[in-house]
A = this chain, B = another copy of it.
Amino acid sequence: MPAYRAPKRDIDFVLKELLNSEEHFAGLENAGDMNVELMDAILDSGAKFAEEVVAPLNQVGDEEGCQFDDGKVTTPTGYKEAFHQYAANGWQGLSVPESDGGLGLPGSVGLTLTEMIGSASWAWSMYSGLAGAPISCLVNGGTEEQKQRFLPKLLTGEWAGAMCLTEAHCGSDVGMLRTKAVKNSDGSYTLTGTKIFISGGEQDITDNIVHAILARVEGAPEGNKGISLFIAPKFNVNDDGSLGEFNHITAGNIEKKMGLKGNATCVMNYDGAQAFLLGEENRGLDVMFKLMNTARIGTAVQGLAGAEAAFQGALTYANERLQMRSLTGTKNPDGPADPIIVHPDVRRMLMTQKAFTEGSRALCYWLAQLVDVTKFGSDEAKVKEAEDILGLLTPVAKGFCTETGVEVTNLGMQVFGGHGYIQEHGMEQIVRDTRISTVYEGTTGIQALDLIGRKVMGSGGELLRVFTKKIHKFCAGHVDSENMVPFTEVLSGLNKQWGEITMHVGGKAMEDAEEVGSASVDFLMFSGYVTFAYLWAQMADVAQQKIAEGNDDGFYKAKLATAEFYFKRLLPRAQAHAIGAQAGADTVMQLNADEFAF
């Protein structure tokens, strides 16, 4: 397995040249002392940590996995030490408000760490990542007393956390959950129930684990309207902050999974655990919704992180592996064969990887900036626009960056040929680890329903118009630039088509509610291809400017060539999705359930 090297040049390009971080930070208010120099410093130490501390843990984590014995979970060698090193860097509280004990920096900075550390080892990164979830729950919904009790040690990394939603009979349909909360006389609640798929629900890394749990208060309404959010520590916390008694929160088992084996996925039993309500009774999903955009963008980053790791591995191998001669003449006369990067089809795979990876980076980082604007922006119109675009593009990013991420990781294996299937090279692990990203935090199908149903149709098309206007403006602003026309002409056509497809599906949905679901994933994928086209057109624009300014170190040439590749060889797929989205519900609804197989 080639060593992970943080793609600092491309991260720099996206943050500074595409997204103009300097201007971005200048437009934020009360976002700590954020500036580009501080961002660079965080990036540098994050890159070093990812490369030197986390990357070496990835393969060993997969091989050793987590062990379970009578309620105890043992994590892989080195995981604990790296976690505490991470926390010691202060990164657990990077985006937590200063008033709550954090650094109060905009989340877009933390997202670059999520990418780099995630490429190095997503399984490891989940222990710190999931600790972030109860922290956010407390920040968004906790009382001062709750914050004081739990936040400080979560921020130092003395404790970690877990997010507890899923039950065996309900995943996407969270409204069916059964975990029961009974109110006690002291205002706390007693929780009883079983949750599954709880990442880091139990581990041997921290002294305490703070669980954020969705449960139903006795007598609450059925469905989503009766769900409350609670916080419950594995060990009770005394008033002086010391650990008290065991709180009856036990891991019943850990799952054997396809990948992410270094991360413990626990069955958690709450056998009369004392828990504290966050926010109001029956309004638990309100607090959850506040985390949803960032959690989904964070999962989109898993697609990006896996893609980057797979691209790096494949590129290194393609340059080293000697196999057959180039059809246009020997390129490596001193060797027994040419490196396989001379072969056009190997290059097609690498260019596909590069186009999706760098496109994902541009999208995820841009959305993270928009989250910054919604939190720290002072210009009301900009905040509104950021909210609208985030609403629209968060499910697109989650769905599209993970679906293409899975494709890119598989291409990485494919470049390795048979050697990719062997564990020692690490390529098949990236495929296995990344595969879950299209499933958890809402499957691609759930993202697609959120996009077309809630966001597009639900806003009467308004959210889509906000973005298509932006694209239109970009295209219109480049009509005089001969070099940009090949990009803007295509983009502009797709932009128009996006509205037309929406009208078409919307019209049909008035007659048949199944039309929305039938169109949904194709609509999401079409949206993803157009969104990437917008970003690749912008990247081509920046690259062309840099080249015109005399910059010729190859980076901008490559950026431009990748934009061209994207437009000529990947973007045409959008049309198949356009057709699929408009093919009609009949294509999927005409069979009875018992007619699918005989």
Q: Which residues from chain A sit less than 8 Å from chain B, CB to CB?
A: 7, 9-10, 166, 169-173, 176, 197, 255-259, 311-312, 315, 318-319, 322-324, 327-328, 336-337, 339, 341-351, 354, 406, 410, 413-414, 417-424, 428, 431-432, 435-436, 438-440, 443-445, 448-449, 512-514, 516-518, 520-522, 553-555, 557-558, 561, 564-565, 568-569, 572-573, 575-576, 579-580, 583-585, 587-598
Contacts and interface: CB of A to CB of B under 8 A. Distances in A.
A598 B9 contact: yes
A336 B311 CA distance: 45
Contacts of A432: 258, 432
A432 B553 CA distance: 41
A589 B518 contact: no
B328 A513 contact: yes
Contacts of A517: 327, 343-345
Contacts of A520: 344-345
Given A173-B323, A421-B439, A572-B579, 5 more contacts: A256-B424, A351-B587, A418-B436, A418-B440, A572-B580
Nearest to A515: B344
Contact of A558 (B423, B424, B561, B596): B596
Contacts of A557: 591, 595
Contact of A569 (B171, B444, B580): B580
Contacts of A420: 439
A440 B413 CA distance: 12
Contacts of A424: 256
Given A413-B435, A520-B345, A350 B169 contact: no
Nearest to A7: B597
A558 B421 CA distance: 37
Contact of A573 (B169, B337, B444, B576): B576
Given A520-B345, A588-B348, A597-B312, A406 B410 contact: yes
B343 A256 contact: no
Task: State how many copies of this chain the complex holds.
Answer: 2
B327 A10 contact: no
A431 B554 contact: no
10 contacts: A258-B423, A258-B431, A342-B593, A344-B516, A345-B521, A347-B518, A349-B445, A350-B596, A554-B592, A554-B598
Nearest to A429: B258
A127 to B, nearest CB: 18
Contacts of A341: 593, 596
Contact of A345 (B349, B413, B518): B518
What does DSSP make chain A's interface, helix, strand, loop or mixed?
Answer: helix
Contacts of A596: 315, 341, 350, 354, 558
A295 to B, nearest CB: 15
The 5 closest A-B pairs by CB, nearest first: A344-B517, A258-B428, A347-B588, A327-B513, A344-B518
Contact of A576 (B166, B318, B349, B576): B576
Given A327-B513, A421-B439, A443-B417, A587 B565 contact: yes
Contacts of A585: 344
Nearest to A260: B421
Contacts of A588: 344, 347-348, 351, 565
A414 B438 contact: yes
Contacts of A516: 327, 344
Contact of A166 (B339, B418, B423, B575): B418
B572 A345 contact: no
Contacts of A448: 345
A595 B552 CA distance: 11
Contact of A337 (B173, B197, B587): B173
A553 B336 CA distance: 62
B421 A257 contact: yes
A424 B572 CA distance: 39
Contacts of A350: 596
Given A169-B322, A319-B593, A517-B344, A587 B569 contact: yes
Given A323-B170, A439-B417, A572 B575 contact: yes
A343 B588 CA distance: 9
B421 A435 contact: yes
A507 B547 CA distance: 33
B583 A579 contact: no
Nearest to A568: B583
A354 B327 CA distance: 39
A512 B328 contact: yes
A522 B569 CA distance: 10
A582 to B, nearest CB: 10
Nearest to A574: B576
